[in-house]
Structure 1
Amino acid sequence: MPLETPVRIVRELAARGYNAEQAAVTLIASTERPGRTLERVVEHVDDAALRITADDVRDALGDARPSSDARDAETRADDVSTMENGAETIEDDVSAVGGDAPNRGERDASTPRRDETTNPGRGDAPADVGESGSGSQDPSVSTGDERGYRKTEAGSGSGNVPEETAGAASGGGTSPGDAAPAASRTVDPSLRSLEVAGDVTGQSTGTGEYGDFVKVFRDRYEKLSKQLRGRVNHRPATAIQSMSGGTDAAMVGLVNDIRSTKSGHWLVELEDTTGTFPCLVMKDREFAELVDELLLDECIAVEGTLSDDAGIMFVDSMHFPDVPRTYSPNTADRHVQAALVSDIHVGSQEFEADAWTRFADWLHTEEAERVEYLLIAGDMVEGVGVYPDQDEELDIVDIYEQYERFSEHLKDVPGDMEILMIPGNHDAVRLAEPQPGFDENLRDIMSAHDARITGNPSLVTVEGVKVLMYHGVSLDEVIAELPEEKASYDDPHKAMYQLLKKRHVAPQFGGKTRLAPEEKDYLVMEEVPDVFHTGHVHKLGWGKYHDVLAVNSGCWQAQTDFQKSVNIDPDVGYAPILDLDTLDMTVRKFA
């Protein structure tokens, strides 16, 4: 394959296990025969080297006199090197760190927005689906209206593309098939930070014994009840049982049972660490519809009045742990972006390899130079034996070969990106949540770019922005149990709103979601995330709930026969691009 563009040079080096300075890539591309130059450089560098520098290229060229273009490129490379080592970088020009950083929603006038940038791209150019503003969606609005589906052409495919705010374009960006300008990632890596909390990997102690279940539910109750006790005058169940009839009472507990009466009222039984107590929600109360949102085992608080015989509480109000309405999200101190993707499904016959290649090529362009993080929310591969007759839909039948192929596709991504991934239900880890990260064998296979591998779920702090990464199996549960206007596959972010409201990623035990008992409940949202990122349902959807951005990032797998049988019409080849300094988001389509 000709190496006439920097993008192809970077991909070829990555395929051979090397990262490279931008200056080195520029020097190679500017020689008369870039392919031969690359071979000389690879032969020249030490076998233990992982990063090719401009000095490596100069040493490999030796006495060979470079062309005038190459000499000019060397001068430019020196300029780049100077900027990398100096106090001022290109990053500083665009977004100053500290007090001079632009306010939310503002950019330096010299930096064009994506929808204002003119590009010579054509053919398979990725399309901007839209930019999400600081308050893109009101959870009270019907998502059918708020997503505003419209038919548009995007790259080599077309489909129902959700349009968020002003700025949606049908063909922005640069075509990966053309000679796209390569990214100039001159930012100091020391500016990056990525921390993980709530990871069960290496911490799992559950044996499946009864005592483990007691521990995990007790921990759930303690963590969530703390968030509710400040709102009600909580009394334990046993204390309420001894109170006089007609008195006011309040209780915090896990939902133990929900049933309707002959008159259409709702009887909700709550359980705390001392016992259970029945609470009656009258059907004519304005909050009665909240009962439709309840799941077994979630934690709520109620206030009300005891009946004359003190055997039941008539509920006057109901409270969820919820995200405080006063919550203010964190943002990064500089203009930097993260790509949020999930459900790659390498190994499936329906894996959209061309779409992934277009995405990876785009990451090498100048337009994507601020995308420094790639966060993958599970299902890297299709897996084996996940559903009936799956083997008939596999392109690769060996699970290890699937991960090897995924690793090859991961090498297409720029080598200087920070990559973090969690497992999903198709991956080769235990199905029960929380899921530990991959074992050492799979980590060795997926060693490209030294990706960070953590458990499902994990709270990942990226330059100060808290991103809750969860694959999303419990979304099936929420969608099945709640009314369609509250949660549906077409609007997966609405189901995510429910999990934020409950402050737990998988509240209900014993249903569609397999849960593993541990000494503590890793699935509780102890901290409010700034961004909640899921996958699993293969549908694109995003919006803001109490200023928390909820994103389900779609998939990279076309519809399978199994998906047809369960009426799943996937949203394929989308890549939400998140501005970490403003939490604005642009969704790009590559399929």
Structure 2
Amino acid sequence: MPSETPASVVQSLARHGYNAEREAVTLLARAPDPPEAIGAVLENISEETLRITVTDVRAVIDSAPIEDPPQEPPVEAQNTESNQATDADSPVETEGVTSKQPKRDDPTDSSAVDDAEEIDTSGNRRASDISLRSLSIANDMTGQSTGTGEYKQFVRTFRDRYERLSKLLRSRVNHRPTKAISKMPGGSEAELIGLVNDVRSTKGGHWLIELEDTTGTFPCLVTKDKNISELVNELLMDECIAVQGRLSDDAGIMFVDSLHFPDVPRTHRPSTADRHVQAALISDIHVGSQEFMAEAWHQFTDWLHSEEAQHVEYLLIAGDMVEGVGVYPNQDKELDIIDIYDQYEMFAEYLKEVPGDMEIVMIPGNHDAVRLAEPQPGFDDRLRDIMDIHDARIVSNPATVTIENVSVLMYHGVSLDEVIAELPEEKASYDESHKAMYHLLKKRHVAPQYGGRNRLAPETQDYLVIDNVPDIFHTGHVHKIGWGKYHNVLAVNSGCWQAQTDFQKSVNINPDSGYAPIVDLDTLNMTVRKFV
């Protein structure tokens, strides 16, 4: 009897409520009669078992012969060309390459994949040493929320924002509080750090910026003849900047000569892993939508079981696991699953197709069943119980995940809408979503502007500040694939797994669907794979 594909084995186990180690799947797929072997394993495991291990499988099939690997050269899981990010600051092209994929449930297809893992000469998988893995979470505010929406709490949040971001700027300017500057003699040189309270143009075509610190506000004028005037177009309300200039004769205004953002230092050198290991970055799966691309997802998880993906040990999901309910007008007409909990149940079934030994980290997005205001805590206990597949780490949006020395700032990305709407098209657009991400790194805050599209939850601290420079910045939300490097930080927007909905057509959104950016953690080079 021919071997089954590893993905077929995973599906069979998932239907019975189990996941399995990757090597266990390989052994079952190579058994002379995989369905019989699966049945025997299920009969012999204890009722408490949740994950099928190699030991469980060998206890049943060690006495039976295992088919030898085919002698002819193995067929790759997906005959896909790849696009690789370069070390240059300029982004590479973002178009994926489409290729045909065999039907996942047809074991007679000669192009189907038999090998789930790399095999050595003795026929055993050279499995990655799980003990080499390391994963830690920082800035996770799940369970830490204390905000009730009172005015004084908003004041506390913005004060914390100012204090932390101003520290990043104090090495560049000799800051004096606005209250002290207002008492300085006219014509004095002055330097100020503040949050942008207002920006408006004058009749003469100049720009008037009102900055606020903990002692008050002060007006700063950028004249149109200054070479920094184009930087004014990049400003967002409530972000923190520093200015240097000279006071007017009456000391009532500062004429600005230079303007600084907190920014990522150009000298930043990212950390890398000590071995060759990879992470898959995905987002916006949208299970429950009529346009969820199930076949593309199946092809992706098939590929994760292939030899080609043997080094992919981490899966980072940046929000919107499900389509949600009531997120946009008339959404109910575009739902395949109308109950929010049923959507998460189905998402969990799809997640079971992922190799059981992968480390998974998930954050929520604006379609998920959590509060819309940011920071968003990780899911509640009921949803965590539903999504407990592979012991996935469920953390807040945003959060910083460090995997094998590489820090990954995960943020769903709702503020990208704000950045793209406010900035000139050449500086930020949906077609080049990574450029909008550059501005968030430049401002050292994932959602600087309050009061527009982005909702803010007041907390004891501003969890949206980027205190430490990440090695990778991973977002989703805008359903557009884009990547590039900004001051050596790899910025990745990972597209989506949902075809264009009627609502997206109405607002002129053409999504990039079925993409999976794969990052080499030892080099931070990236390959983008497309599954359709």
Quickly name the TM-score band, shorter chain normalised: over 0.9
2:400 paired with 1:459: yes
Q: Could you tell me whether the CA contact under 8 Å between 2:31 and 2:61 is conserved in 1?
A: no
Contact 2:437-2:491 within 8 A present in 1 as well: yes
The question of 1:252 aligning with 2:183 is answered: no
Distance verdict in 2 for CA 1:176–1:320, change over 3 Å: farther
Residue of structure 1 aligned with 2:64, choices 66, 69, 77: 66
Q: Which residue of 2 aligns with 1:129?
A: 82
Distance 1:24 1:387, change over 3 A: closer
- Separation in structure 2 between the aligned mates of residue 205 and residue 176 of structure 1, nearest angstrom: 58
Residue matched to 1:36: 36
The alpha-carbon deviation at position 131 of structure 1 amounts to 1.3
Give the conservation status (yes or no) of the 8 Å contact 2:473–2:489. yes
Does the alignment pair 1:155 with 2:110? no
Contact 1:126 1:589 in 2 (8 A): no
Mind listing any 5+ residue stretches in structure 2 that lack a counterpart? 103-108, 118-124
Q: SS in structure 2 opposite 1:127?
A: coil
Number of the residue aligned with 2:122 = none
The equivalent position to 1:484 in structure 2, one of 425, 428, 432, is: 425
Matched, 1:226 2:167: yes
Distance 1:22 1:411, change over 3 A: closer
Please report how far the alpha carbon of residue 58 of structure 1 lies from its aligned counterpart in structure 2 after TM superposition.
4.2
Match of residue 504, structure 1, among 433, 445, 452: 445
Q: Is the 8 A contact 2:372 2:455 kept in 1?
A: yes
Residue 279 of structure 1 aligns to a residue whose secondary structure is: strand
CA distance in structure 1 between the partners assigned to 2:217 and 2:159 by the alignment? 14
Q: Distance in 2 between matches of 1:358 and 1:465?
A: 28
- Corresponding residue to 2:283 among 320, 335, 342: 342
SS at match of 1:486: coil
Number of matched residues? 516
Q: In the alignment, is the contact (CA less than 8 A) between 1:252 and 1:301 conserved in 2?
A: yes
The correspondence of residues 265-414 of structure 1 with structure 2, limited to 5 A, is 265-414=206-355
**TM-aligned CA deviation for residue 55 of structure 1:** 4.1
Shift of 1:412: 0.4
Answer whether contact 2:21 2:54 (CA < 8 A) is retained.
yes
How many Å apart are 1:194 and its aligned residue?
1.1
1:70-149 equivalence runs, <5 A:
120-121=75-76, 125=78, 127-133=80-86, 135-138=87-90, 146-147=92-93
For 1:331, what is the secondary structure of its paired residue?
Answer: coil
Matched residues in 2 for 1:453 and 1:177: separation?
36
Aligned partner of 2:358 in structure 1 is 417
Q: In the alignment, what sits opposite 2:105?
A: none
Closer/same/farther in 2, CA of residues 205 and 337 from structure 1, 3 Å limit = same
Distance 1:179 1:434 in 2: 42
Aligned residue identity for 2:213: D
1:51 positional shift: 3.9
Helix, strand or coil for the counterpart of 1:222?
Answer: helix
Contact 2:51/2:356 (8 A) holds in 1: no
State the one-letter code of the partner of 1:120: V
Task: Give the stretch that moved more between structures: 53-62 or 197-206.
Answer: 53-62
* Range with bigger deviation, 536-545 or 22-31: 22-31
Structure 1 residue aligned with 2:112, among 165, 178, 182? 178
Separation in 2, partners of 1:19, 1:304: 63
Tell me: higher relative CO, structure 1 or 2? Use CA pairs within 8 A at least 6 residues apart: 2
Q: 2:363 corresponds to which letter in structure 1?
A: I
Q: 1:30 to 1:500 in 2, by over 3 A?
A: closer
Q: Distance in 1 between matches of 2:100 and 2:343?
A: 27
- The alpha-carbon deviation at position 19 of structure 1 amounts to 4.3
The amino acid across from 1:261 in the alignment is T
The CA deviation at 1:7 is 3.8
Deviation of residue 30 (structure 1)? 3.8
4+ aligned runs moved over 6 Å, structure 1: none
Q: Rate the CA distance shift 1:180–1:519 in 2: closer, same or farther, 3 A.
A: same
Q: Find 1:214's aligned residue among 135, 150, 155.
A: 155
Deviation at residue 8 of structure 1 after TM alignment: 2.4
> What is the RMSD of the two structures over their aligned residues, measured on CA atoms?
2.1
